[in-house]
Amino acid sequence: MSSVEQIDRAPEVVVDCLIIGAGAAGLVAALSAIEGGESVLVLERDGVPQGSTALSAGLIPAAGTRWQAALGVEDSPTQFAIDIMRKAHGEPSLDLIVLVTRTIGPTLEWLADRHQLPFSLVDNFTYPGHSRYRMHGLPSRAGRELIDRLRAAAETAGIDILCEAHATTLLVDRANRITGVRFTRPDGSSDDIGCKRLILACSGYGGNPALVARHIPQMASATYFGHVGNQGDALNWGEQLDGATRHLGGHQGHGSVAHPAGILISWATITEGGFQVNAKGERFSNEASGYSEQAANVLAQPDGIAWTIFDARIADIAAQFEDFRNAVAHGAVLEAQDIAGLAAGMRVPADALIATFAEVATAKSEKRTDRFGRSFAGVPQLVTPYRAVRVTGALFHTQGGLVIDDHARVMRRDGSVIDNLFAAGGAACGVSGADASGYLSGNGLLTAVALGRVAGLAKC
């Protein structure tokens, strides 16, 4: 579907800045570009903008923000960059990390001041790998609110979002410079629209099983939990234009998706002192390494199933998330007054589960690292009543993609730039390195929002 076509005459109607994709990256880019005085048009294949952004928890990490300062959290883009680099084993581009960590804080403050997005700081638990409280979210802590507020801001700013417009073909001149885009409508008709510059904000390839099998074979059979419309078009176009790509195996997995309900269970259930067992009632990994790499660990268990176990205190923390409240309403969260009762509900051997609880309790009380390498330092013991959720591992989104420069311009394999083609969000290579273990919580919306801002403000 995604092709590149050379044409001799540019389309008649030309906008300054054309954007493909109305997720967080595309809408932040649009709001930024119109502020710079450009005429802007966004093409979106769906009837209503949603993307993976709507499916997310909407949490965006940023350092040095006024929300952190108000709560006395000392942080800086440099500290944030160190955390990202450490989680990704030194693999990502340092320049890119510096760019996004410096951009994201001012961008959230601009979204709050200029477009009335009421962010606040999540200050009651830290995500694995973040050395500070730095997750910012909207009141519902749900991505649907983020996309709805961005769309409303775009409408207020007078930005045209053409929905049910599926971009299929990039139009280029003889020098392979972008001159426009062809898109199709649901009735099969198509149109060409010209542009002075194009921003690819149509995300990654998680919704394309063939590309997942090629680049992330270990997740080929995993449930894809992201937006199905993300078919890898940016990657396909970029490759046809000789664009450089990087870290195509990079992705965000998640090891705690309620099954069969299909609802995300907040990782606060783990970081606050919970743990996971398999169908034998036994732990199998260091859950605290991160939820992303835990997806493959869970999928390696019998039937690809595990149980996330926690208690009422942790459930109260997780309840700030709409997803968790939905899981409770859905009946996905078991409750029991003792371990034997919990084991019965889970249908796992009670003696094994009792032994696992005891092992975790000992590790906590002795403040030592357990046999999987997990430290339970600083987290309280679980107390009755207990909770458990049956979960599986899932692929959330891809993190590899097109290599960009510090203006978010797409780079060719020879190191030159395609000077009027930009990429942001899941379309661009992110800051998570070559596999799931490099994903630091929030890297997805970090690069969507920060690179959307950079691409939107850029000129060519």
Ligand X SMILES: Cc1cc2nc3c(=O)[nH]c(=O)nc-3n(C[C@H](O)[C@H](O)[C@H](O)COP(=O)(O)OP(=O)(O)OC[C@H]3O[C@@H](n4cnc5c(N)ncnc54)[C@H](O)[C@@H]3O)c2cc1C
What is the binding site for ligand X (CB under 6 A)? 20-26, 43-46, 49-53, 55-60, 166-167, 201-203, 225-227, 229-231, 233, 252, 264, 396-397, 425-426, 442, 444-446, 448
Q: How far is the CB of 133 from ligand X (least distance, A)?
A: 15
Q: How far is the CB of 29 from ligand X (least distance, A)?
A: 9
Q: How far is the CB of 64 from ligand X (least distance, A)?
A: 18
Q: How far is the CB of 352 from ligand X (least distance, A)?
A: 31
Judged by beta carbon, residue 28 or residue 306, the one nearer ligand X is 28
Q: How far is the CB of 60 from ligand X (least distance, A)?
A: 6
Judged by beta carbon, residue 3 or residue 381, the one nearer ligand X is 3
Which amino acid, one-letter code, is at 37?
G
Q: How far is the CB of 34 from ligand X (least distance, A)?
A: 17
Judged by beta carbon, residue 199 or residue 348, the one nearer ligand X is 199
Q: How far is the CB of 364 from ligand X (least distance, A)?
A: 27
**HEC assignment per residue over the chain:** CCEEEECCCCCCCEEEEEEECCCHHHHHHHHHHHHCCCCEEEECCCCCCCHHHHHCCCCEECCCCHHHHHCCCCCCHHHHHHHHHHHCCCCCCHHHHHHHHHHHHHHHHHHHHHHCCCCEECCCCCCCCCCCCCEEECCCCCHHHHHHHHHHHHHHCCCEEECCCEEEEEEECCCCCEEEEEEECCCCCEEEEEEEEEEECCCCCCCCHHHHHHHCHHHCCCEECCCCCCCCHHHHHHHHCCECEECCCCEEEEEEEECCCCEECCCHHHHCCCEEECCCCCCCCCHHHCHHHHHHHHHCCHHHEEEEEEEHHHHHHHCCCHHHHHHHHCCCEEEECCHHHHHHHHCCCHHHHHHHHHHHHHHHHCCCECCCCCECCCCCCCCCCEEEEEEEEEEEEECCEECECCCCEEEECCCCEEEEEEECHHHECCCCCCCHHHCCCCHHHHHHHHHHHHHHHCCC
Judged by beta carbon, residue 327 or residue 339, the one nearer ligand X is 327
Q: How far is the CB of 49 from ligand X (least distance, A)?
A: 6
Q: How far is the CB of 70 from ligand X (least distance, A)?
A: 22
Judged by beta carbon, residue 231 or residue 286, the one nearer ligand X is 231
Judged by beta carbon, residue 30 or residue 382, the one nearer ligand X is 30
Judged by beta carbon, residue 253 or residue 274, the one nearer ligand X is 253
Judged by beta carbon, residue 135 or residue 411, the one nearer ligand X is 135
Judged by beta carbon, residue 56 or residue 68, the one nearer ligand X is 56
